[in-house]
Every structure is written in C-alpha cells, then in structure tokens.
C-alpha cells in the first residue's frame, strides 16, 4: 500500500493476520527498507517489494530500529540471499545480529516452543554487512535523507529514523502499538531492558521534532502525533503502577498478567469485539509486557 509517492507499506501478514507487522519500502535513488520483520514472513516481504514495482535485488539498505525478532529477525536471511545489502543498526544491537545465539536464547525464554513457529530461524549477518549507526547520523537516500536518533526505553539499542524535510518518523516500538482505525495505543514492554524513565525521555525527543506523521511498525501511519504520544506515555506509566501494586501485594506473574489483560480487554472492547483484543495480544502480548515490567522493577530494587 502506497502511503506516499515513494513509501510503500508492506504487510507481513504475521500468523496470517493482517495489519500486525509493517515494513516500509522507501523507493529512492538508494532503495531502503525500514524494518524487515521476522524470517517466518520473508517470502511475503519479498512479494511486497515486487508489488511496489521493484525487484528485491535492487534493494540496498536495511534500516532496523532494534534487533527484536519482529523488527530485524529476517536481516540475516535477506543478506544471505542478497549479499550486497547493508544492515543499519544501533551499536549495542550490532553484535547480536552478527552472532544471534544470545538473542535466540533470550527469545527462547520468552516464547518457548513457539519461537520457531512465530519468528522462524535467525540467520547471522556477516560483519561486513553491518553498519553501526550513530546518534544524529544522516543517511542520504536521494530525495530523502533519514537521520538516526537514539531513542532507548523499549530497548537500550533502539533508534528511530527521522525525515526532517518530510516530517516522517519511522518509530519502531518507541511510539507504541496502535492498530489501524483505532485510537488506542499500547506500550510494548518486553524484557530484558525496559526503562520507563528513558522511554519518557525518548517520547519527549520525538515530540521535539514536531513530526507530521508517525510510521509505526505496529502498525501504519498516524497523523494524530500528540494524541498517540500522550496516550502512550499515560498508559506506559499506568500499567507500570498496576504491575508494581500487584508485586507489592504478592501476586504471581500470571495473576498480574490476567489483571492487566482484563483491564486492557475492557478498554479495547469500547472500540470493537473480541477479535480486537486478540489482535493487540498478537502485536504485543500481555504476558510478555508484564514480564518486562517485573524485570524492570527487580533491577531497580
């Protein structure tokens, strides 16, 4: 789907469901893909590039916001097929693309036996294919120039890509999860390195850009920038308070997750039926989000 004259949104149809994971193909002098999604949906990604009228081998850059498998999982597989590709990634994330064993072990703790079904295999990215982006680095594509900006909080190694001239921010997860047609934003807060204070600072950094549009990986273009960021920040801290209260009362992780899920389901049903609750859980699961908060509070002491 074209969302601009030179930006094509590719739907990965994650788990066969539409509008869960997006990649953004920027058709310019140096064609770039912002976010690559998981290996499990790489064939759909390549078809999406072809639907935009471009051969996959014409692609030059892969710009990932962070290394979580729903954002960067297919990087190695794409470089294996197209060795000329360069993967742009934060310096903290770069070693884990080159050697994903620790990343896979961490994901295995979260997803267990569902890891392969959800995300597929994780192929290492050769060192020579990895480009470490610096905060403020300008990435010229032709008509567009993107600027990489450090935005930790969801992950220590998170960046956004900012088009100063056009007013677009490719947000990864730092602007939350907000599915199309729904004025509802969920903060995705998985382990291991959620940081609420850093996330608030990153939200302020995005606000300060005064963007025209947020391009969310989960999912699509949002023009109500302040509304999205306001709701994100409010729910980020409100859910944290809910989890902390549960921990102080001696509740188990499962009990806290059920409590958070019940509240979120009540909020979501104001917008639609049970299918909407399930779609948000696929995009950003209650259990995983609660695990992130619990780890965060345990590290804070």
**Distance between CA atoms of residues 60 and 55, nearest Å:** 11
Partners of residue 130 on adjacent β-strands: 87
Tokens describing residue 279? 């779609």
Angle between helices 225-248 and 253-269 (to 10 degrees): 150
Q: Is the pLDDT of residue 203 over 90?
A: yes
Secondary structure percentages of the chain, helix, strand, coil, to 5 = 45, 20, 35
**Distance between CA atoms of residues 91 and 135, nearest Å:** 10
Give pLDDT tens digits for 46-87. 999 999 999 999 999 999 999 999 999 999 999 999 999 999
Q: Is 235 in contact with 203 (CB distance < 8 Å)?
A: no
pTM above threshold 0.85: yes
Q: Is the pLDDT of residue 36 over 80?
A: yes
Of 139, 209, 200, 201, the closest CA to residue 168 belongs to: 209
Give pLDDT tens digits for 253-291. 999 999 999 998 888 888 877 788 889 999 999 899 999
Q: Which domains does the chain have, with CATH numbers?
A: 7-300 (3.60.15.10)
Q: Is the dihedral of CA 10, 229, 67, 137 positive or negative?
A: positive
User: How would you classify the pairing of strands 86-90 and 220-222?
Assistant: unpaired
**Distance between CA atoms of residues 74 and 39, nearest Å:** 4
**Distance between CA atoms of residues 29 and 292, nearest Å:** 40
**Distance between CA atoms of residues 19 and 13, nearest Å:** 7
To the nearest whole percent, how much of the chain has pLDDT over 90?
89
The radius of gyration computed from the CA coordinates of the chain, to the nearest angstrom, equals 18
Tokens describing residue 84? 């000329």
**Distance between CA atoms of residues 59 and 4, nearest Å:** 18
């Amino acid at each position: 789907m074209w969302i601009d004259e030179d930006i094509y949104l590719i739907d990965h149809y994650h788990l066969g469901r539409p509008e869960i994971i997006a990649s953004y193909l920027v058709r310019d002098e140096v064609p770039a893909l912002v976010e690559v999604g998981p290996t499990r949906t790489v064939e759909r990604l390549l078809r999406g590039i072809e639907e935009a009228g471009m051969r996959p081998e014409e692609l030059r850059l892969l710009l990932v916001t962070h290394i979580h498998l729903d954002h960067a999982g297919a990087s190695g597989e794409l470089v294996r097929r197209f060795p000329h590709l360069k993967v742009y990634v934060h310096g903290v994330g770069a070693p884990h693309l080159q050697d994903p064993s620790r990343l896979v072990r961490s994901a295995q703790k979260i997803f267990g036996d569902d890891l392969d079904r959800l995300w597929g295999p994780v192929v290492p990215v050769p060192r020579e294919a990895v480009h470490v982006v610096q905060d403020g680095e300008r990435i010229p594509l032709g008509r567009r120039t993107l600027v990489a900006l450090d935005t930790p909080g969801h992950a220590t190694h998170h960046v956004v890509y900012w088009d100063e001239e056009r007013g677009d921010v490719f947000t990864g997860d730092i602007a939350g999860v907000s599915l199309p047609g729904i004025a509802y934003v969920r903060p995705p807060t998985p382990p291991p390195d959620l940081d609420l204070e850093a996330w608030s600072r990153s939200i302020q950094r995005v606000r300060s850009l005064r963007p025209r549009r947020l391009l969310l990986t989960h999912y699509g273009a949002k023009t109500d920038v302040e509304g999205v960021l306001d709701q994100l920040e409010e729910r980020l801290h409100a859910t944290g308070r809910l989890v902390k209260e549960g921990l102080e009362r001696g509740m188990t992780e499962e009990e806290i997750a059920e409590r958070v899920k019940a509240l979120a389901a009540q909020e979501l049903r104001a917008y639609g039926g049970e299918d909407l609750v399930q779609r948000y859980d696929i995009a950003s699961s209650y259990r995983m989000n609660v695990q992130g908060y619990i780890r965060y509070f345990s590290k804070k002491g």
